[in-house]
Structure 1
Amino acid sequence: MAGDMPCPCPCDRRLRLRGIEFNVHIEGKGEPVLLLHGFPDDHLVWRRTIPALVGAGFRVIAPDLRGCGLTEAPPREADYHLSLLVGDVVALLDHLGIDRVRLVGHDWGALVGWALALQHPDRVERYAALSVGHPASYVGAPLKQKLMAYYIVLLQLRGVIEFSLRAGGWWLFRTLTRMPDEADHWIARLSRPGRLTAAINYYRANFALFFRRDWPRAAIPVMGLWSDGDFALCREQMTETQRWLDVSWRYHEIAGAGHWLQLDAPERVNALLSDFLQGATS
């Protein structure tokens, strides 16, 4: 486990939203920034980001999404459809009395963030998408993106993939994620009853979305961050995002970082996020 992994924080709150008890980290004062994590993470993936954004004068809100971290895990595969994930975020904003938010998403959190920004543009002031480009850009990406996403097909093997990921001290899981400093934390969370399947259900309940092309255009400022060591996402699915935007677009490539760029290159990522979220022009 990474040496900077924090203990349970007094900034964490338990909020009941739409029948599910969520764990939500809220810290700082000022304009609200919402951080959405991906697979197989929880809000702790932002532990090197939150202090920088709080120091920049933001109120940071980082939930554990449904089925993840210390948030409850609904039992059915259908409980993880993208529409429900977006609904959770809207309910969180409503509960906190936030009309519009500055948004940051990574991995699955980036896809949820895109859906929120596209379906509820009145709730998002600006959006920083880490690793994952506009959904239509992802679907239309070159063949190499389809090859890089082979694991999505493997995750459809119900029961078989759960067994395989756990086998041999979680050897396959550790190999696929390529993030040894995070693996012990992930495994501890995913080893709880039903939690590995809940995490995989993000991919199962939304499999059709990886082929959907009829996504709307974005009408808010967007910044895309992509890292050249990302094993799951190619550069083009991010750079071609600009074709799906009606407002401003900023793109930055993080050299030497892997898929979890906010952990691999926190100083660079934090500086870009702080600048963009404060509304600075490119």
Structure 2
Amino acid sequence: MIEALEIPTEAGTFDALSCGETGGREVMFLHGFPEAAIEWEFQLDALGGGGCHAVAPDQRGYSPGVRPEQVLDYRLDELVGDVAAIADELGWQRFDLVGHDWGAQVSWAAAAAMPERIRTLTAVSHPHPTAFLRALTEDEDQAQRSHYFELLRRPRVAERLLLADGATALRQIFEWKIPEERVDDYVDRFTQPGAMTAALNWYRAMHHAGPTAAVTVPTLYVWSTEDTAIGSTAAMATERYVTGPYRFEMLEDISHWIPEQAPEALTRLIMEHLLAHRT
């Protein structure tokens, strides 16, 4: 059974969802934008019921208890620091890390920064950051796909646009690919005071990030052919930035919202990856 959890750290208290007994194989799930830990409901239940201790935090800015106001507080190194702090509080010395969208961006950086702690990495949708940045500057298709970044970085303008008229624009981001009640849940979260600005500050802090090194830990990267945010150029180039064991899986006819649109397929891939790398 999935349970709510509070995880205190020096940065503040993170809300989280947990499933499975303490002592099981430790797996942390990181959500993307504009979502929350609940996007991993299916995976938490499956892995928690299969001998793992699975935990998904609402990340910095998404947890009301960790919602700083300054853009610089959302730099990638701060987000990676949160991963380490959450693991420390849970008592996890080594753990498997799974991330989607922005959660994958953080997961790539965390795996590069602390390979001694990350047993395996599963990145969903978002490619290795260096592959993505190169595609962003060299590939016209990716530049067009990411054009919305500039809008999301505009203070107050993006908040008004996304939340106007019952959050119509925010709802449209999901492309009608996930259940309406889940979208309602996300919209409710982002209409809370300060929540939308905090989430958008991740985009506004992007240019403060340094380069991400190659990843040495066993890595599974899952990309989908109907992803409107991430094109094939960055997806195919990601293997260049993984020096450890690497597996690439492409899901046909699935959108960017893999964890919720194709939960069974993704969970099977995650489980196979964990079983292949037990130590």
> 1:96 & 1:234 partners in 2: Cα distance?
36
Task: Name the counterpart of 1:88.
Answer: 82
Cross-structure match for 2:184: 184
Alignment of 1:183-202 (within 5 A): 183-202=183-202
Q: Which residue in 2 is equivalent to 1:19?
A: 11
Aligned to 1:157: 154
Residues 210-237 of structure 1 deviation map (CA, whole Å, 9 limit, x = unaligned):
xx6x431111111100111211111221
In 2, Cα distance between equivalents of 1:185 and 1:221: 34
SS at match of 1:132: coil
Partner residue of 1:48?
Answer: 42
| AA matched with 1:204 | R
- Relative to the length of structure 2, the TM-score reads 0.91
Provide the residue aligned with 2:119 in structure 1: 125
State the match for 1:28 in structure 2: 20
**Paired position in structure 1 for 2:238:** 241
CA contact (8 A) 1:64 1:71 kept: no
1:59 deviates by 0.8
Aligned to 2:270: 273
Query: Residue 229 of structure 1 aligns to a residue in which SS?
Result: coil
Q: What whole-Å deviation, never above 9, does each CA across 1:239-282 have from its counterpart, x for those lacking one? A: 2111111111101111222111111111111111111012269x
Kept after mapping to 1: 8 A contact 2:47/2:54: yes
Task: Give the count of matched residue pairs.
Answer: 270
Determine the C-alpha separation between the residues in 2 that align with 1:62 and 1:129: 15
Mapping 1:203-242, distance limit 5 Å = 203-209=203-209, 214-242=211-239
Moved more, 230-239 or 190-199: 230-239
Q: In the alignment, is residue 170 of structure 1 matched against residue 167 of structure 2? A: yes
Partner of 1:3: none
Cα distance in 2 for residues equivalent to 1:176 and 1:19: 30
Give me the identity figure in percent.
Answer: 33
Per-residue Cα deviation, 1:163-220 (whole angstroms, up to 9, x for no partner): 11122222222223324623211110010111110010010012354xx6x4311111
Q: Which amino acid aligns with 2:5?
A: R
Q: Alpha-carbon deviation of 1:72?
A: 3.3
Indicate conservation of the 8 Å contact 1:18/1:88, yes or no. no
Please give the TM-score of this superposition, normalised by the length of structure 1.
0.90
Question: In the TM superposition, what is the alpha-carbon distance from 1:85 to its structure 2 partner?
Answer: 0.8
Q: Take 1:70 and 1:194, find their aligned partners in 2: how far apart are those partners? A: 9
Q: Secondary structure at the match of 2:62?
A: coil
Instruction: Determine whether 1:72 maps to 2:69.
Output: no
Which residues of structure 1 form unaligned runs of 5+? 1-8
Q: CA–CA distance in 2 between the matches of 1:60 and 1:122?
A: 19
**Aligned partner (choices 62, 79, 86) of residue 56 of structure 2:** 62
**What is the SS of the residue equivalent to 1:177?**
coil
> Could you give the per-residue CA deviations for residues 106-155 of structure 1, whole angstroms, max 9, x where no partner exists?
01100110110001111101101000111111111222111101111111
SS of residue matched to 1:86? helix
**Residues 55 and 261 (structure 1), Cα distance of their counterparts in 2 relative to 1, 3 Å cut:** same
Distance 1:71 1:185 in 2: 19
Q: Are the equivalent residues in 1 in contact too, given 2:17–2:38 (CA < 8 A)?
A: no
In structure 2, distance between residues paired with 1:239 and 1:177: 24
Q: Which runs of 4+ in 1 moved over 4 A?
A: none
Task: Report the equivalent of 1:148.
Answer: 145
